[in-house]
Every structure is written in C-alpha cells, then in structure tokens.
C-alpha cells in the first residue's frame, strides 16, 4: 500500500505543489511553519480540496481533478491524529475510542481494541472524560481512536508539538512501534529535527509550498539549507544496538562495530536505536587524541567539505558507524589540512547526545 | 388549585397545552434552520435569516392577520389542512401555530449561537473517523449544542405561554378553545369585577415563567458540565 500525491493548491501568498509517492513506513513532511505541511495532509484527509492533480491510496482514487472524483473525508479510510487531540469532550475515553471503530467497514475486533489499548497504556483511562486527561494521555487516546477506525493510512499533524519534553518522549515510542509494525503508511508532519531523526523512513521537505520528492532522512539532516536553524542544527543519524548498561550510569551501544557511550537509555539490551549526532557536537583531530575526557572517538575519513560565507565549515565524514558531520571553523579546517580523503578522528562528547535525540 | 375558577383553570391548562405543542413542533425545524444559518454557505442565507426573524419585529397583529389570510378557512394553506382533517381557524391548533411562529425566532437564535460555538475542528475529526455529515451532526454538533437547544426551548415555551397579539387575531378568544392565559387576563379586565380573577391568572403566569427559567438554568448547568466533560 502506498500513497501517491500529485497536487497543486493556491494558498494565501503562495502555491502548494507536491508530487511524491509515500511507501509503507513513516514519511515525514518536514518544513518550517507556514510552508504548507498541514494543507498537504488535509488534502490527503479530504478536509480541503486541491485545485488540481491526483491523490491515490493503494489502488483507490481519493481525488482526481480530471475525472472529478473527490471522495469525502468520511469515506477515505484515513486516520488522522491532530496536533490538538480533538477528543470529543462530551464522550468518555472509551466512547471516543469506539467512535470510529463502529463506523469502520470491517470494525476492529475486541481483541484488537484490547491490543491497542494495552499498546498505548490507556486501559486505566477508559472511564474518564477527555477534560480529565493530561496532554500526553489525550494524545495517546487520539492515536488509539485513529487506529481503531480501521484506517488504511495514518496522518499525524505535529502530534507532539503541543506537549512538553517529558510528554514528547512518552509518546514517541508509540509512533516508532507503529513504524516498525509496517502495517500502514504514515504521513507525519513535523518541524522538529529530532522527531525526523527518530521516526523518518523517508522525508518530503516543504519550503513555501514547494515539496521535494522522497528523500533519505540522513541526507535531510546533513543539509544546512533544509534543517531549520541552518548549520547549527545540522547533524547525522546513526543506527546503534544497546549492548550494556553500566553501573556508572552510562549505556554502551555499538554502531558498525564502534562502541558509543550514552547517558543511560531506557531500552533493553539488544534494542536497536537511532542516535542523532549534531554537527556542532563533533570535534575533529588529525591524530588519535589521548588524555581526553570525551569517551566517543571515531576513526573517520573526510568525504566532503562545505564552507559558507561565515567563519564556519561543515565537514562530512565517513566512519564505521555511519556518516556523520562536524561543524568547525574554516580556520581549523585549514590548520588541520582537512580535505576530501584525509583521515581524521571525530570526537563526540558523551553528554552531548541528548536524551530526546535518542530513539528506537 | 381550587382557588382558580373553572374558566381560569381552563385558560391555564389550555395555555400550557398550546405552549408545549408549540415548543415541541417548532424545535425540529428550528434546529434545522439554526444549523443552516450557523454552518451553511448558500444563496439566500440572508433572506432566510430575515424571514425567520420577521415575527420578532413585525407587530404581532400583522403576523396574526397574515396567518388568518393564509391559514384561515378561505386561505390556501387553511383549505389544504382542513382537507386533511387539521382545521386551524378558531381552533386551539391554530393557537399552537401562532405561538410556534412567534416563538420560532427566539428558539432559532439560541440554538444557532450554541451551534456556532461548537468547534468545527471536532466535526472535521469526526469526519476523518468515518462519520457522514448527518452522523457528525447527530453525534457531535447536536449533543454539544444541547445547552443552547434547551435554553431555546425554554425561551420558546415562555414566549408561547405569553403570546397574545397574533393568537387573538388569528384564532380569536373563545373560552375552552382558544382563550389562552393572556387572552383570559385581557377578557377579565374588560368586565366589571374581573380584577381578582385576572390577578390570580397573573400570579399563575409569573409562577410558570419563573419555574421554567429556574428549571432551564439547572438543566443547562448540568448539561454544560456534561458537554464540557468535567
């Protein structure tokens, strides 16, 4: 099952143009506020009508300007998790969860209901009213409600944006689990680099209405033009496996045979994680450093050097753990004689791998 | 209520019956019109709005006279209804129609305001969960607008209880058939020695109106709490 989008829509001040095909897994729609992300998924949901083009899901036509086909929202079979949970305030949590379930062409069974309630950890909330839920709880119920409507695809519009840091990390694992189940394509809107790093299988970037084709997340994370905050926010994503939790509060991970030390992560030994390493957290050395407090030192080869107008330079490196980036000054790059093909050591300070940037 | 004479009691009972029927019958069209005015974007929106509010601003006598023209025994509507066994002219059923039309703008207004207060984003959420527009209305919009529906009903009931001008013009003032409480007060004041009967009816009118308002207040508060989910 994949989602095909090829649409145009005139908005206030700019035109939305998008053309991509999202396969199973999570496709992140990434871009700054006001770039047309929400408009794009609202068009997929059937909440707004594009001016031209075509939207197809699997073999079904959801919208086609030429044939005049425009399936109303309630017939699209598309689950939607909104930024503001939008639970029905006059219904209990249980009635909210059952709202779409009763209307599904093939209603999810009681066993499926129990499975999703358990997965989301909302069993104790069933009798409550939405007004009595915390933001994180409400958003989990909203996710459950969307999943129980028997959707053929899931849309999520910045589902974590309204939550504080702790609530964010409470909800992220549920989306990761959905991604790994691979049951349905997920279109996930965000402007957060760390959410992109943790969740994305594919990325479509948006800039004032212009959508890119399908990109790889590591390419987006490494591109200062795409990442909000520019070179400061650029970074790399590394896949790693948890191998040990040490008594001194550190967790040991291995990526491509290279050990990485992080402040203790909650995942069990054997779990596969994505670790994001911001370019500004990486220091470079030509010789293997000794007597250094940093624990994570990776042997690397320079694969690219990019310098802008400012004093900074962005160095792309290849390591056994994967591609990473380092942001250093142009002066240092010159002093170290860095160039493509040169061997170097990348030093990542343990503490600089922030908790919220770690995910499985 | 033995202190009420048979004629007075008759007027009170008739008024309650007329007001109740007028409220019940005007509610469904009022909800439909209120929804159309609150959410609809269609040609004639302003015209419909004006038409609905007309009885509020026209002299009640004019409304009554128009009713008489159209629904009287010579009028087109009157003849049709008479043919199906529902004569209105000089019947209590006519009083129901007059009261319903006079109360209609108030009922529509209250319901419209409460529908406008329902977050359309909740309706959009319901649509993405597979609910057709009709189901969205029945399961989200209407339940959430219920305090307004209730307020409108009580307001409509009170207005129907007190309706005088259009009623007396359309169906006259026949004891036992169309002599509602206000008409009875008017009649008693026309005859010497009728002041005490009129005073008793005035007390009844005040008690009924107060009771309706208090009841609606209690119900609305309870319902608002339920809708807000607290």
With beta carbons under 8 A apart, name residues in chain B contacting A89: 144, 227-229
What ranges in A135-262 are assigned the alpha helix state H?
A: 135-147, 165-181, 193-199, 217-221
Q: Which helix (H) or strand (E) holds B181?
A: helix B181-190
Tokens for A292? 């250094």
**Cβ within 8 Å, pair A74-B228:** no
CATH of domain A3-226: 3.40.50.300
Q: Where are the domains of chain A?
A: 3-226, 236-359
Which residues on chain A place their C-beta less than 8 Å from a C-beta of chain B? 45-47, 72-80, 82, 84, 86, 88-91, 99-100, 103-104, 129-132, 145-146, 149, 155
Q: Which helix (H) or strand (E) holds A63?
A: strand A60-64
User: CB of B134 within 8 Å of any CB in chain A?
Assistant: no
* Alpha carbon of B222: minimum distance to chain A alpha carbons (Å): 12
Phi-psi region of A130 (alpha: psi -120 to 50; beta: other; left: phi over 0): alpha
Q: Helix or strand or coil: residue A250?
A: strand
Which residue in chain A is spatially nearest to B133 when comparing CA positions? A74
Q: Helix or strand or coil: residue B78?
A: helix
Which residue in chain A is spatially nearest to B129 when comparing CA positions? A100
pLDDT along chain A (360 residues), means of 10: 92 91 92 90 95 93 94 94 94 96 92 92 93 91 94 93 79 85 88 86 91 86 75 78 90 88 84 83 88 86 82 88 87 89 86 57
Q: What is the pLDDT of residues A149-199, one digit of tens each?
A: 999 999 999 999 888 777 787 788 888 888 888 778 999 999 888 888 888
**Cβ within 8 Å, pair B121-A86:** yes
Rounded Cα distance between B31 and B38, Å, is 10
Q: What are phi and psi of A96, to 5 degrees?
A: -60, -45
Residue B4: half-sphere exposure toward Cβ, Cα within 13 Å: 19
User: CB of B125 within 8 Å of any CB in chain A?
Assistant: yes
Asked if B8 and B200 count as a contact pair (C-beta separation under 8 A), the reply is yes
Report whether CATH 2.40.50.100 matches the domain A236-359: yes
State the angle between helix axes of B6-39 and B45-57 in degrees (0 to 180), rounded to the nearest 10: 160
Q: Which of A95, A92, A98 lies closest to A110, judged by CA? A: A98
- The number of beta carbons lying within 10 Å of the beta carbon of residue A334 is 12
With beta carbons under 8 A apart, name residues in chain A contacting B228: 89, 131
- The number of beta carbons lying within 10 Å of the beta carbon of residue A105 is 9
Q: Which residues contact A227 (CB under 8 A, 6 or more apart)?
A: A193, A220, A221, A233, A234, A235
Q: What is the pLDDT of residues A72-112, one digit of tens each?
A: 999 999 999 999 999 999 999 999 999 999 999 889 999 99
**Cβ within 8 Å, pair A131-B228:** yes
Rounded Cα distance between B72 and A149, Å, is 54
Which residue in chain B is spatially nearest to A43 when comparing CA positions? B128
Q: Which residues contact A35 (CB under 8 A, 6 or more apart)?
A: A206, A207, A208, A209
**Cβ within 8 Å, pair A89-B228:** yes
Q: What is the pLDDT of residue A360?
A: 46
Asked if B201 and B10 count as a contact pair (C-beta separation under 8 A), the reply is no
Q: What are phi and psi of A347, to 5 degrees?
A: -110, 120
Q: What are phi and psi of B91, to 5 degrees?
A: -120, 160
CA angle A102, A106, A110 (to 5 degrees): 65
Of A90, A103, A129, the CB nearest to B131: A103
**Cβ within 8 Å, pair A77-B230:** no
Q: What is the pLDDT of residue A239?
A: 82
Q: Which helix (H) or strand (E) holds A258?
A: strand A258-263
Rounded Cα distance between A44 and A50, Å, is 9
With beta carbons under 8 A apart, name residues in chain A contacting B127: 46-47, 72-74
CA angle B43, A44, B143 (to 5 degrees): 60
Asked if A215 and A209 count as a contact pair (C-beta separation under 8 A), the reply is no
Tokens for A193? 């680099």
Chain B segment 64-123 residues within 8 A of A by beta carbon are 121-122
Q: State ipTM.
A: 0.83
Tokens for A99? 């709202």
Q: What is the pLDDT of residue A352?
A: 58
Q: Helix or strand or coil: residue B2?
A: coil
Show the low-confidence residues of chain B (pLDDT under 50).
Answer: 1
User: CB of B131 within 8 Å of any CB in chain A?
Assistant: yes
Decide whether A3-226 matches A236-359 in CATH topology: no
Q: What is the pLDDT of residue A217?
A: 85
Q: Which of B156, B47, B160 lies closest to B108, judged by CA? A: B156
DSSP B138: I
C-alpha distances in Å from residue B161, one per residue of B98, B150, B179: 11, 16, 12
């Amino acid at each position: 099952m994949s989602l095909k989008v090829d649409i145009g829509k005139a908005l206030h001040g700019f035109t939305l143009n998008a053309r991509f095909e999202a396969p199973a897994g999570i496709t992140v729609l990434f871009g700054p506020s006001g770039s047309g992300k929400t408009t794009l998924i609202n068009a997929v949901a059937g909440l707004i009508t594009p001016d031209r083009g075509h939207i197809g899901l699997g073999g079904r036509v959801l919208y086609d300007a030429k044939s005049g086909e425009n399936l109303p929202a309630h017939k699209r079979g598309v689950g939607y998790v909104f930024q503001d949970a939008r639970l029905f305030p006059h219904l209990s949590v249980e009635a909210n969860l059952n709202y779409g379930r009763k209307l599904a062409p093939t209603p999810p069974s009681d066993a499926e209901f129990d499975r999703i309630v358990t997965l989301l950890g909302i069993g104790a909330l069933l009798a409550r009213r939405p007004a009595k839920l915390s933001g994180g709880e409400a958003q989990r119920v909203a996710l459950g409600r969307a999943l129980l409507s028997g959707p053929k695809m899931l849309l999520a519009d910045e589902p974590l944006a309204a939550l504080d840091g702790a609530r964010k990390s409470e909800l992220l694992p549920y989306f990761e689990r959905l991604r790994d189940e691979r049951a349905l394509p997920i279109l996930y809107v965000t402007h957060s680099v760390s959410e992109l790093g943790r969740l994305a299988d594919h990325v479509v970037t948006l800039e004032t209405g212009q959508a890119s084709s399908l990109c790889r997340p590591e390419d987006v994370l490494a591109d200062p033009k795409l990442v909000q905050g520019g070179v400061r926010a650029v970074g790399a994503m590394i896949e790693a496996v948890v191998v040990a939790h040490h008594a001194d509060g550190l967790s040991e991970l291995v990526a491509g045979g290279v050990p990485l030390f992080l402040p203790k992560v909650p995942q069990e030994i054997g779990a596969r994680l994505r670790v994001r390493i911001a370019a500004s957290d990486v220091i470079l050395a030509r010789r293997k450093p000794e007597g250094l407090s940093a624990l994570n030192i990776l042997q690397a080869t320079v694969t690219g050097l990019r310098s802008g107008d400012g004093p900074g330079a962005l160095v792309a490196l290849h390591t056994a753990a994967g591609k990473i980036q380092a942001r250093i000054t142009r002066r240092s790059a010159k002093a170290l004689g860095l160039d493509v093909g040169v061997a170097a050591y990348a030093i990542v300070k343990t503490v600089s791998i922030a908790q919220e940037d770690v995910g499985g | 209520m033995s202190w009420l004479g048979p004629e007075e009691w008759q007027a009170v009972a008739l008024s309650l019956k007329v007001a109740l029927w007028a409220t019940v019958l005007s509610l469904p069209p009022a909800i439909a019109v209120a929804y159309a005015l609150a959410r609809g974007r269609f040609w004639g929106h302003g015209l419909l709005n004006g038409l609905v509010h007309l009885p509020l601003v026209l002299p009640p006598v004019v409304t009554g006279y128009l009713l008489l023209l159209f629904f009287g025994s010579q009028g087109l509507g009157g003849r049709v209804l008479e043919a199906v066994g529902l004569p209105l002219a000089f019947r209590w059923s006519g009083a129901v129609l007059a009261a319903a039309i006079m109360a209609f703008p108030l009922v529509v207004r209250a319901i419209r305001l409460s529908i406008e207060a329902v977050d359309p984003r909740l309706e959009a959420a319901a649509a993405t969960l597979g609910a057709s527009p009709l189901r969205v209305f029945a399961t989200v919009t209407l339940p959430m607008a219920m305090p307004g529906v209730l307020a409108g009903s009580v307001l409509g009931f009170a207005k129907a209880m007190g309706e005088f001008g259009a009623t007396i013009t359309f169906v006259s003032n026949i004891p036992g058939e169309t002599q509602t409480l206000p008409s009875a007060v008017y009649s008693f004041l026309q005859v010497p020695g009728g002041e005490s009967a009129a005073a008793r009816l005035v007390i009844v009118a005040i008690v009924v109106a107060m009771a309706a308002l208090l009841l609606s207040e209690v119900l609305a508060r309870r319902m608002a709490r339920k809708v807000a989910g607290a």
